[in-house]
């Protein structure tokens, strides 16, 4: 199985386990409070959203990945979303590791 597919499967698992926050505002709030361990951003978000999320993640030292489009992300978690915050360090580490391979 390809790593991207494995990350999408993990997103689905994390969603069912209640370890994700979704949507721009919720994710930004949780990044600020240090609860988000990894941000997954769709690669087809607007330029301003991309800039805002990238800057916020950099200033709070939160890793950000964006290998998927909004369709893939939405399908993985069963809701239409472009921005996801992973609040569980185990899930976040596994996803980051898979993206580096």
21 with 32: CB under 8 angstroms?
no
pLDDT at 101: 86
| pTM of the complete model | 0.95
Split the chain (101 residues) into runs of 10 and give each run's mean pLDDT: 92 97 96 98 96 97 96 97 97 95 86
CA distance 47 to 34: 24
Please name the residues in contact with 73: beta carbons below 8 A apart, sequence gap of 6 or more.
8, 11, 40, 42, 81, 82, 84
pLDDT at 1: 65
53 with 64: CB under 8 angstroms?
yes
pLDDT at 76: 97
């Amino acid at each position: 199985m390809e790593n991207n597919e494995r990350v999408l499967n993990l997103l689905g698992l994390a969603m069912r386990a209640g370890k994700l926050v979704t949507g721009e505002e919720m994710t930004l709030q949780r990044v600020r409070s240090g609860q988000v361990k990894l941000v997954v951003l769709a690669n087809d978000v607007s330029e301003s959203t991309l800039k805002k999320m990238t800057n916020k993640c950099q200033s709070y030292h939160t890793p950000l990945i964006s290998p998927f489009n909004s369709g893939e992300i939405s399908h993985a978690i069963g809701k239409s979303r472009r921005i996801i915050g992973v609040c569980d360090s185990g899930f976040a580490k596994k996803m980051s590791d898979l993206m580096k391979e």
